[in-house]
Amino acid sequence: MLGRRDFLGRSGLALAGLTTGCATTTRLAAPTGQITGNALVADLQERTFRFFWDTTDPATGLAPDRWPTPSFSSVAAIGFALTAYPIGVVHGWITREQARARTLTTLQFLADAPQGDGATGFSGYRGFFYHFLGVTKGQRFARCELSTVDTALLLGGTLFAQSWFDGDHPDEVRIRALAERLYTAVEWTWITPRAPLLSMGWHPETGFIKSDWDVYNEGMLLYVLALGSPTHPLPEGTWQAWSSRFESSWSDRWGQPHLHFPPLFGHQYSHVWIDFRGIRDAYIATHDIDYFENSRRAAHAQRAYATANPGGWRGYDAEVWGLTACDGPGDFTTRIAGVDRTFYSYSARGPGDRDDGTIAPTAAAASIAFAPDIATQAIGAMHRRYGAGIYGRYGFADAFNPTLTAPPGPLKHGRIVPGIGWVDGDQLGIDQGPIVAMIENAQSGLIWNTMRRNPHIRRGLQRAGFSGGWLG
């Protein structure tokens, strides 16, 4: 899973104007009284957009893994930041000139970043990037891995920028060229030690990670990019070899039958950039649905699980739901109301899978493109019940846990808020990104419609065997 200090937002906190390298941000007033429905969704999207605009380094384009705790940069968060900038333009939060300048800075920095097989002094190798980069030089942080999926998420934003910045302005021409350079540099065929499957990554100290992308998960974007490469494509049949393993993940627990992956990010990340509505590969066609419908069912299954609440966690019901990879209070067991409860710090959570009562707002909010009614309801319920403690400057805190009100010792993240429970102190880029992006896809289809024009995405889908719908 993707890996990833004290901020507590309050609904009465206004968004201060912060000076960036491109402009001074507009002051966003916090909602007064109760804000609901579409107005709340719009407010959440703007606040989440401003997370990326305000916290990303304007001199390099390096987006932080988390904020406000000082952290390294996450290359996946950079991909989401690149995706957020045009959304800011269409809503009038920033100008096209500002977005263009920030995007060009980001892509130029990445294109110039050193690549090599050494353990230090490099940002990546063979076109891939390390999961985390230091914020000063943009080079490998500690001993993190060269990450295939995080590189894919970075490239999702890169190719979106390539297609969205389609004007004749010299900087937009340069953006398109840099995006092409970054994408075509990735040597997908190198990182397949157990061909045809892609390895999860590589360390200069120990070589390839011994796990592959070999089950249904967020890897759809990864394989589409690898198959669509004009320079180092994976061979025909790769998608079929991967999808032939999916059937073991098919489940009808908690609702309609669907490909099950416990945390919701696995059903969301690839869909940020690829419109899977109406297009199907050979595998999903055998079940007479598409992958968009599969994600809709997954969101409804999580709501059904929260409604049933087999673990007896406080706060779970038909309105408040959503489990995914997110921060948690810490790794410990304590007794609550006569029951031993085990909690985790950062972890990938799902129905019956490391569920410790920790709810991540991104899980429901980023499902708005699949299940707008229940997602909007969840956004409203979380804000109404817990907003005084979890909603602030950049939207929702990464996670909260109403069950934990008296921890046995120091917390790994966040703090206890009276009347609410545990609340994370940070927001994470890879959880903020799907919120701003999927709200936009739900409302206008901006990212989906833009990426339909990208030749690399189309080529990758076609080589994977997708057909029908907008690919026809």
22, part of any domain: no
Cα 464 versus chain centre, distance: 23
**What's the CA gap between 375 and 365, in Å, rounded?**
6
DSSP string, 338-393: TEEEEE-SSEE-BTTBS--S-B-HHHHHTTTTT-HHHHHHHHHHHHHHHHHHHEET
**What are the tokens at 331?**
């790794």
Q: What's the pLDDT score for residue 262?
A: 97
Minimal CA–CA distance to 254: which of 346, 326, 323? Answer: 323
Asked if 323 contacts 336 with a C-beta cutoff of 8 angstroms, the reply is: no
Angle 213-63-271 from CA coordinates, rounded to 5°: 40
* Residue 343 bridge partners (DSSP): 332
Does residue 10 form part of some domain? Answer: no
Locate 223 and state its tokens.
Answer: 């394989």
The reply to whether the predicted model has a pTM over 0.85 is yes
CA distance 415 to 411: 7
CA distance 307 to 314: 11
Say if 2 falls within a structural domain: no
Q: Which two tokens mark 432?
A: 């903020």
Q: How many domains does the chain have?
A: 1
Closest CA to 324 of 398, 243, 377, 412: 398
Segment-wise mean pLDDT, segments of 10 residues, the chain, 472 residues: 29 27 43 75 98 98 98 98 98 98 98 98 98 98 98 99 98 98 98 98 98 98 98 98 97 96 98 98 98 98 98 98 98 98 98 97 98 98 98 98 97 98 98 98 98 98 98 92
Q: Is there a contact between 318 and 306 (Cβ–Cβ < 8 Å)?
A: yes
pLDDT of residue 36: 78
Length of the chain: 472
For residue 189 the two structure tokens come to 């065929």
How far, in Å, are 130, 178, 222 from residue 146 at the CA level? 4, 21, 14
> Quick check: is 232 in a domain?
yes
Look up the CATH number of the domain holding residue 365: 1.50.10.140
| DSSP single-letter state for residue 212 | B
3-state SS class at 282:
helix
Does a structural domain hold residue 369?
A: yes
Residues facing 396 on adjacent strands? 391
The parent domain of residue 246 ranges over 37-471
Residue 14 belongs to a domain: no
> Does residue 20 lie in a domain region?
no
pLDDT value of residue 7:
22
Distance from C-alpha of 174 to C-alpha of 170, rounded to nearest angstrom: 6
Tell me if 6 is assigned to some domain: no
